[in-house]
Structure 1
């Protein structure tokens, strides 16, 4: 019984020390936040920090996370040609790795195509490879189209799309051989009360098509 009581007393002492450290830590954090919020100018709501941009640096003072409207241009970022209202993550070398927010012109195989344009303004999550090339993501476009896609180094590879205007959903898989070019291997779509499944040869010609309409299935070539 005596050992049991002593063991419980030791547990209570440990908990008391942990609680003390926790209270000290919370006090320090609260004081730091109070100091930060004190910079809010006259007329600004208490407890809200107003900034145009924010840069998070690593131990070597390299910018690794930038956020803003638009996000600020930082010296160690490889690209200086584009910005947007977004949160951008950079690697140690300054390559774009992940963008969350408004899109901007993509880098493809190390270059930003001068004549490239998206089919609509978009917001979402955009993934970049170790060279900073855009390789896929999830986005919603201003034209009412949602997309989930991943790319080959030079072009689209696989995509899923939803179009709210014509109430359709489409899945596309493109040929992997670079020599074939931007050609679908197959496409599958749903629209209204039916749908279509199509297979294509490397020239882009449909080789086999299945159509579904009101529950009836038909094929063609």
Structure 2
């Protein structure tokens, strides 16, 4: 039983947010989607250009070559991209650290002003800024988040991005090749399996967003199906023209 002057304890926080800014989620999602769409489209183009031949080994070779080339390319690209981004952030963080050391009064005033702009009472903002600047690392973390949008201790890892991108691309790119590896001689099984995988990936991704699962699944299926169909037509045109 509570008295008029007592307060109920706050309810505990019983949820956790998924990692939406780390170094693995974006390249993993992008890699899987790209592997599915690009390799399925590649296989479709080759199948369209060689539709008069019964030997499916050409399609398998193209699919496996596309898997290997795409996975290594994605990994290299992600590593370079994330490494450059992290290095740029580290440079700006180092500049901010030096500013905090060289001009503590100015940096305290800047932080207090930012807090006021976010609705904190000016006197409380000043006190909070003074307290945060009692330790350079604490002050740096707050300034980096407020000014740069990054946490100095949680910069994305280029190795993590590269590995997750490589594995997810390879897994996605393997899907349209699987039916041929198990004896299929037509494009239909690869098309159906790819569309199912695209729908599943799109539905899973929307679990991290506000969109309904069926919307994400259908959107990804339509986009991937369009790439699949258009590349097949291009393959037919090139194969029928005698260029290849």
Query: Same fold by TM-score, threshold 0.5 exceeded?
Result: no
Higher helix share: 2
- TM-score grouping bracket, smaller chain normalisation: under 0.3
Q: 1 or 2, which has the higher strand percentage? A: 1
